[in-house]
Chains A and B, each alone.
Chain A
Amino acid sequence: MSAIVDGVTLKDKLLADFELQKTAFFPDNPVLSGFRNKAAEAFKHLGFPTKKWEEYKYLSFEAFVKSELNHSLTRNSTGNVVQNELMVDDANNLFLIDGFYDEKLNQKKEWPQGVIVSSLADAIASKNVHALMHLGMHTKTDTDSFIALNTALFQDGLFVYVPENVHIEKTFQIIQSSTENEPKLIQPRILIVAENGSSVNFIHLQVSSNNNETTLINGFTEIVVGEKASVSWYNVQEVGKKMGIVQTTEAYLQNNAKFETVTVTLAGKLVRNNLTIVLKGTHCETHLDGFYFPKSGETFDNHTLVDHSMPHCESNELYKGAVAGDGTAVFNGKVFVRQDAQKTNAYQSNKNILLSEDATVNTKPQLEIYADDVKCSHGSSTGFIDSEQLFYLRSRGISESIAKALLLDAYAAEVINKIKHDSLRTKLSEVISGMIQQIK
C-alpha cells in the first residue's frame, strides 16, 4: 500500500501488487488463478488507455494514472452508515465500501430458499459452484484494459444468486461508496446469477460520501440472466468532483430472458460506462436507457454494445444527455445484428442538449446489420434548447430560467420514467431538477 515512488508508473505498481498477492489470493483455485494470470498479462501488454486509442479517444486518465493512487487491498469495514440523497428507503441495502462487501452494514436477512447474497471473496473462498461457474466465464479479459485490470486484481465485491423460479420482490440497493482521505484505486467485482424463470431487481448506486480525492473506481459487473428470467439494473452515479469511474457492466441473456437497465450519471470528474448486452438466446428482450448530465469540468462517456446473435430478439435503447458549462459527453452505441439474428427488432436513439456554447458532445451510433429480415433504426441529435418551445412558455409569463427548467425536466423525464422503482424515480427527478435550477 505504498505511494508511487518517482519513476514507477501506476501500471508497474499494480503489476507488482499482482505478483505480491497472487500466491495469497485463492492459491488453491487453479481456474481462477489461471484467468487472473492471463488478465494480468493482458494488462501488462495493454496498460492504461491513452487518447490514441479509438475506444477511449475522448478520455484522459492522466490525472488518475499520475496521482499517487493506492490500490485498495484490505478489507476496511467502517460500520459507518453511508448517506446519499439518492438512496431509497424501501430496498434491501447491500454496502460495498471501497469495493469490499461490508458485513457490518449489511444486516443479515432471511432470503427465500437457496438465494445467496454474499461477499464475492467469500463465495470464491467457499468454492460456491454457481459463482465459480460464471465468474469471468462469459467475458473477454484480454482486450480491454479495465476488464483485465479488474480481473487481475479485484479483491472482493458482491455475489447474488437467485435460484430457478424464485422471484425477489424487494429491490436490492447496492451502495458502492468510498471512504475519504487518500486517493485510491477501487475495483469492485459484482456477479449476479438469475437462474431460469427467476426475477430480481437492483439499484446500483455509486456514491462517494464527500470523497474528494482523485480516486478511481474500476468496477466490473457480470449479470447472467437465465431462460425466462427477468432482471432490472438501475445504475446511478454521483461521485466527488475529482473522482473517476470506469464501470463495465455485461449482461448475458438466455432464451426468453428480459433485462432492463437505466444508467444515470450525475456527478464525477470522469465517468466511463461500458455496457454490453449479449443476447445469447432467442426471444430475448432488453431495454437500455441512459441520462447523463455533465457540467463544468466533467466528462461522461457511455459506450454501449448490444449483440444480437440469435433470432427473435428485441432491443430498445434511448440515451439522452444535457451538457452544461464546459462539460463533455460522449455516446458510442454499437448494435450488432449478426447473420443468424433474423426477426430482430433493434432501436437506438441518442439525443443531446447543449446548455452552453462551451459544452461538447461526441456521439457515434453504430448499427451493423448482417441479417436481412430485421427491423432496426437509429438516430442521434444534438442541439440547444428548442427556442420555439422556450418562447411559447415565456409568452405565458414564465421566466426564461423556469421555462428552461420545465423543458429540461421533461427532457430528462423521458428516460427517468423508464425506472419502475417509484421512490428512486421520484428522488432522481428531484435531484436532477435541483441541478437544472443551479445551471446559469
Chain B
Amino acid sequence: MLSIRNLFARVEEKEILKGFSLEVKPGEVHAIMGPNGSGKSTLASVLAGREDYEVTAGEIIFDGKDLLELAPEDRAREGIFLAFQYPVEIPGVSITNFLKTAINEQRAYRGLPPMEPKEFLQLMKDKKAVVEMDTNLTNRSVNEGFSGGEKKRNEIFQMAMLQPKLAVLDETDSGLDIDALRVVANGVTRLKSKENATIVITHYQRLLDYIVPDFVHVLFDGKIVKSGGKELALELEEKGYDWIKKEVALS
C-alpha cells in the first residue's frame, strides 16, 4: 500500500529525514516512536504534502502512485489522512460546512455525486457516536477555542468521516485524559479493517495497549534505526532511548 524508500527531506536548508524507508501493507498498524526532534512530524507532513518540506531524494509510492507528484488535496482524495499533532483553529468555518465540502470534493474526485444532505447528517451522527463527540462541538468553527483534547478528538472524528485508506496519527494521544484516550483509541480500532492501514506516532506505550501495533519502529536522526514487534514499545518505555543511541553510535 505504502512504500517509502530512502527518503531525504529538509526544511529551510536543514536536513531532517535522512534515508527513511518503510513498507506498510493493508490491514497493518505501524507505530513510530523516537525522541523529540527526530523527524516524526516531518515524516507526517511530507506524507500529507506540506509544501515547506523539500524532498531531496527517495520516493513514496502509494497504491502504485507517485505520492510526491500529487497536491495535498489529491493525496487526501487518494485516501491519506493526517491527524495533526497541532490541529489549527479556523475561525468562521463550521465543522459541518468543512466536512461537507471535504467529503463532496473527495466524492467528486472518485466520480461520485455530492452526498445527500440526509445521508451526510446521518453519517455525522454515527461518527460522532464512534468518538463520543459532543454535538455542540460540531456546531462550532473548526477547532476554534477547543481544548487540546477536543482538538485531538476532532481529528479522529474527521478521520471517521473521511474513511481513509491510510491514517497517520501524529501524537493523537498527547493531551488526552485517560477516558478520552480510551475513546479515541477505541474509535481508531473500530475503524480498522483489512483494507486500511494506520501509522501511529507516539511517545507512550499506553496508547499501544489499545491500538495494538504489528510493528514498532524507532526513528532517530531522520531514519529508522530499529524495528520490532509490540514488545519493542515496552522496552523503550522501560529503558528510554539511550541504549538505542549507543547502538547507533557503535555501528
Contact B76 A395 (CB under 8 A): yes
Whether B93 and A410, one on each chain, are in contact in the complex, defined by CB atoms closer than 8 angstroms, is: yes
B-contacting 9-mer, from A176-184, A260-268, A386-394: A386-394
A12-20, A296-304, A399-407: which lies at the interface: A399-407
Contact A399 B105 (CB under 8 A): yes
* A394 partner, pick from B72, B109, B141, beta carbons under 8 A: B72
Known A391-B50, A392-B84, A392-B88: A398·B101 in contact at CB below 8 Å: yes
Report B-chain residues with C-beta under 8 Å of the C-beta of A386.
Answer: 88
- Known contacts: A402-B101, A402-B105, A406-B101. The answer to whether A396 contacts B92 by CB under 8 A is no
Q: At the interface, yes or no: A414 with Cβ under 8 Å from chain B? A: yes
Partner of A396, one of B50, B97, B158: B158
A410 touches B91 (CB 8 A): yes
For A389, the chain B residues whose CB sits under 8 A away are 88, 90
The verdict on B77 contacting chain A, using a C-beta distance below 8 Å, is yes
The answer to whether B71 touches A394, judged by C-beta atoms less than 8 angstroms apart, is yes
Residue numbers in A under 8 Å from B90 (CB-CB) = 389, 392-393, 407, 410
Instruction: Write the chain A residue with the least CB distance to B87.
Output: A392
For B92, give its contact among A397, A403, A410 (CB under 8 Å): A410
**A residues less than 8 Å from B183 (CB atoms):** none
Most chain B CB atoms below 10 A, which of A389, A396, A400: A396
A409 beta carbon closer than 8 Å to chain B: yes
B102 at the interface (CB under 8 A from A): yes
| Bound Cα distance A403, B109 (Å) | 16
Per the bound structure, the CA–CA distance linking A407 and B50 in Å amounts to 18
State whether B92 touches A400 (Cβ < 8 A).
Answer: no
Also in contact, A391 and B105, with CB within 8 A (given A406-B98, A407-B93, A409-B92): no
- B34 at interface, CB cutoff 8 A: no
| Cα-based distance from A396 to B75 in the complex (angstroms) | 9
Q: What residue of chain B has the Cβ atom nearest to residue A396's Cβ?
A: B102
A411 (CB) vs chain B CBs: closest residue: B92
In the assembled complex, A91 has its CB within 8 A of some CB on chain B: no
B73: nearest chain-A partner, CB-CB = A394
Cβ of B162 within 8 Å of any chain A Cβ, yes or no, is: yes
Contact B92 A413 (CB under 8 A): yes
Does B198 interact with chain A (Cβ within 8 Å)? no
A410 to B93, CA, bound (A): 6
Separation of A228 and B52 alpha carbons in the complex (Å): 55
- A56–B45 alpha-carbon span in the complex (Å): 47
Given contacts A406-B98, A410-B90, A395 and B82 within 8 Å (CB-CB): yes
Please name all residues of chain B whose beta carbon is closer than 8 Å to the beta carbon of A392 when the two chains form the complex: 84, 87-88, 90, 142
Task: Report the bound CA distance from A400 to B77 in whole Å.
Answer: 13
Q: Which residue of A lies closest to B93 (CB)?
A: A410
Task: Report the nearest A residue to B72, measured CB to CB.
Answer: A394
Residues of B27-80 contacting chain A, CB below 8 A? 48-51, 71-73, 75-77
Contact with A along B88-108 (1 / 0, CB 8 A): 101111000111011101100
Are A393 and B71 interface neighbours, CB within 8 A? no
Q: Which residues of A contact B49 (CB under 8 A)?
A: 394-395
Chain B residues whose CB sits within 8 angstroms of the CB of A388 once the complex forms: 88
> Would B98 and A397 count as touching, CB distance under 8 A?
no
Q: Which residue of A has the minimal Cβ distance to B45?
A: A391
Q: Nearest Cβ in chain B — how far from A397, in angstroms? A: 4
Assess the A406–B93 pair: CB atoms within 8 A. yes
Indicate whether A396 sits within 8 Å of B88 (C-beta atoms), given known contacts A391-B72, A406-B93, A410-B93. no
Mark contacts of A406-426 with chain B using CB atoms, 8 A cut-off: 1 yes-contact digit, 0 otherwise.
110111011000000000000
> How many angstroms from the CA of A391 to the CA of B47 in the assembled complex?
13
In chain B, what residue has the closest Cβ to A410? B92
Name the interface residues of B1-17: CB closer than 8 Å to any CB of A: none
Given contacts A392-B84, A409-B92, A410-B91, contact A397 B48 (CB under 8 A): no
A219: min CB distance to chain B, Å: 32
Contact B105 A397 (CB under 8 A): yes
Beta-carbon contact of B98 and A393 below 8 Å: yes
What separation, in Å, do the CA atoms of A414 and B72 have in the docked complex?
28
CB neighbours (8 Å) of B88 from chain A are 386, 388-389, 392
CA distance A411 to B91 in the complex (A): 8
The reply to whether A394 and B92 form a contact with Cβ atoms under 8 Å apart is no
Kindly report which residue of chain B lies nearest to residue A388, judged by CB atoms. Answer: B88
State the CA gap A389–B72 with chains docked (Å): 13
Q: Which of B73, B84, B141 contacts A400 (CB 8 A)?
A: B73
Given contacts A406-B101, A410-B93, 18 further A-B contacts (CB under 8 A): A388-B88, A392-B88, A393-B102, A394-B71, A394-B72, A395-B72, A395-B84, A396-B162, A397-B76, A397-B162, A398-B73, A398-B105, A399-B73, A403-B73, A406-B97, A406-B98, A410-B90, A410-B141
Which 6 interchain pairs have the tightest Cβ spacing?
A410-B92, A397-B76, A396-B102, A394-B72, A397-B106, A394-B73
B→A interface (CB under 8 Å): 48-51, 71-73, 75-77, 81-82, 84, 87-88, 90-93, 97-99, 101-103, 105-106, 109, 141-142, 158, 162
